[in-house]
């Protein structure tokens, strides 16, 4: 989704600090949360949704993303052979969320 299709220009928001949290109540599928995470760099980007179908769909997408992302991390670790198990662990911890 392009920024122009969002109901507000997220890039115009300024956070108080790198410790700020972006909170979207009624987050639907979480698109504004992704835009916030990529453009205004909050410490956290939290979406709250109560419609079961939206929650289930979004969680399915999250698990699929994590599965693919972990595959990529493993392939990079095997192909470069320059990364230690400890460094891989640190990378996984940094990218958990």
Contact criterion met (CB below 8 Å) for 6 and 13: no
pLDDT for the residue numbered 52: 92
Which domain, by its residues, includes 85?
3-94
Helix (H, G, I), strand (E, B) or coil at 19: coil
Contact criterion met (CB below 8 Å) for 88 and 73: yes
CA geometry: angle at 9 spanning 7 and 13, to 5°?
Answer: 125
- For the chain, what is the domain count? 1
pLDDT tens sequence across 3-18? 445 556 666 666 666 7
What does the pLDDT average to over 19-47? 84
On the 0-12 / 13-18 / 19+ scale of CB atoms within 10 A, 73 is: middle
| Structure tokens belonging to residue 59 | 């969680």
């Amino acid at each position: 989704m392009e920024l122009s299709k969002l109901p507000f220009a997220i890039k115009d928001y300024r956070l108080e600090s790198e410790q700020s949290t972006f909170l979207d109540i009624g987050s639907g599928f979480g698109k504004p949360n992704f835009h916030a995470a990529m453009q205004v760099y909050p410490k956290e980007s939290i979406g709250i949704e109560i419609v079961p179908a939206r929650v289930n769909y979004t969680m399915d997408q999250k698990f699929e993303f994590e599965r693919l992302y972990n595959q990529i991390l493993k392939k990079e670790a095997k192909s470069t052979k320059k990364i230690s198990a400890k460094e891989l662990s640190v990378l996984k911890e940094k990218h958990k969320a």
